[in-house]
Structure 1
Amino acid sequence: MARPPGADRPLYVRIAMSLKSRILAGHYAPGQRLPGEDDLAAAMGASRSTVRQALTELRDTGYVTSRRGSGSYVADPLPIEPLSPRSGPVYTGFLDDLDNEAHHVVERDRVQEELLADEALAARLKVPVGAPVVRYRATRLRHGVPYGVATDVLPRAVADRITPDVLDASPTIVDALALAGSRVAESLQRLEPAVLDAADARRCGTSAGDPALAITGTAYDAGRAPIDAYTLTVVTGYGIGLHLTRATTADGSD
């Protein structure tokens, strides 16, 4: 199930987000034909015209292609890399929801260093192995209380646009990217259990070996170029809420 956006979002957008979540989770593979409009309309409890609008939205954003007389297919390649290895469910939502929450978030004790991309980072950022990248690490606080450690790795060309004055004025690296003209437009992340190492435990005032939650992902700009390979390690005791709402049509049906 996708995480439906708020009630102000049109139903076709909700359906597009639901289909996108299934594509990114691997339920529909790149190149695979999607169910027909009638089948999707029946499954989604919506009209065929609404489903057609949703498919248009996915075509416009590069997730779906159409073949005359054959139907709609998952794009190959996709505009962003799906989670690999295949994850559990992918919940979709809107970055502006997180932007609102981020008003209460700041980073402190930020450390910046230059690295050379290993194979894993090169694949995530689509740069050559050995390409220069810049890593930022900081303690993340919400309402002044430490709740985790943020690690952001940016391609050198992207990091070079984050000048010292931009960095000083930015509560988080995501804010710095936006101020530097590389606003995050899309992001895909996975959540996995983790254990705090000694360095992260010191930053958060906890103990090494304590359980944690690692949120690892890749952020993309409006041109679908990867600009940030990030990990947020969240300490135990910090709760994340998930609000699920079933989308309904104007006549009250699902």
Structure 2
Amino acid sequence: MDCLFCGENRKMTKEHILPRWMREEFPELAKEPVYSGSRFEYDSPAGNGPKERIEGGRKQSGPFTSQAPVVCGSCNGGWMSGLETAVRKPLAQMIRGLPVALTPEHQTTVALWSAMKLMAAYFGKHYGGKRPPLEVIGIEDPRALYRSKTLGSRMVMTLARYQPTSTEQEPFHNIVFERMDHGGGKQSYQTVLKIDSFVAKLIRVAEGLPMYPLPPALHDAVVVHPGSGPVQWPPRCDVFAGEGWERYVYLPDETGAQPR
């Protein structure tokens, strides 16, 4: 099998979606069953029909066991391992919801790590189970990420803080993938990674469409810009559970509509 990132035909290793160092940071969660869910949505391929949804299930073995056997040992033990080491300090604080001054290096590291995990999780679903009816992330994106070690020119990463409800069980870890068709063979997508209080959203805009303005739900998120100065996380407004989360995570229902 070809490695997801470098493309080499090598023996695959299992990449942990939530890395092993999180077991050390959150040992109480490693011992307890934790709900971990994911939701995939795809526009109907015919007309303006409803979206097709694939819902993830309840995992009883905790959040740190999910693996994606899609990367080679060279990538897993090389640049990906280095990225895990670099991201641990700022990310552990963000997962706990604690304020962090994100240096330009931190922003780059957190954005690249988040994109890497989202891509591994998505393609892990491809290889580990039923292939989705429509493609969301193309193979060209993880290959480009490997070559440049940066987000692509058509990508935007935003970072937000999640505020749960006090009455319902909340998943510690959640991933959402969505695709939007614009007609003429153009597609955009967004994918969201949530780990407790930390939320990262990766938006990829189709060629020929404007990158900005961002959707209204992102105006109060930290937007990662290459070469920008230090920023303070969390942003002014949190993403709250319920309707706030729905607005932040999901694309419009209309097939062919441009991202808001």
Above 0.5 in TM-score? no
For the pair shown, the structure with the greater C-alpha radius of gyration is 1
Q: Which has the higher contact order (CA 8 A, sep 6+)?
A: 2
The two structures have a TM-score, normalised by structure 1, of 0.22
The two structures have a TM-score, normalised by structure 2, of 0.22
